[in-house]
Amino acid sequence: MTMAERALRGTRLGATSYENDRNTDLAPRQEVDYTCTKGHRFTVTLAAEAEVPITWECRNCGATALRVDGELPQTKKGKPPRTHWDMLMERRTLEDLEEVLAERLEILRAGRKKSA
């Protein structure tokens, strides 16, 4: 039996890493603290050059957590949604619409007279 076979005996392949951090240089890191609305506080380790997000999902409850030294992002004021009426009024005046309505009503009334 070779030495490699003895080293693997009694272990599940892939279950345990036999590597260690000796003689390796780890990338520079930073630790960022977050607190969620329910009071859970946790730390996330990120690369030193990474852009740090303002919010992060809480590890305990899944709520949105805010960076301890951060401020809430400003909500942008958006335009109110345009309705069909708004778009119609951009193309027509009330007088135009009254004329179109009168024409359509006349066509409908003429159709009813023929069928009666």
61 assigned binding-site residue: yes
95 assigned binding-site residue: no
Q: Judging by DSSP bridges, how do beta strands 55-57 and 41-47 pair with one another?
A: unpaired
84 assigned binding-site residue: no
- If you search the block for the tokens 């899944």, which residue do you land on? 62
Q: At residue 115, what is the residue type?
A: S
Burial of 29 (0-12, 13-18, 19+ CB in 10 A): exposed
- Phi, psi of 24, deg, nearest 5: -125, 145
Spatial contact of 29 and 43, defined as CB atoms under 8 Å apart:
no
Known binding residues: 36, 40, 58, 61
Known binding residues for Zn(2+): 36, 40, 58, 61
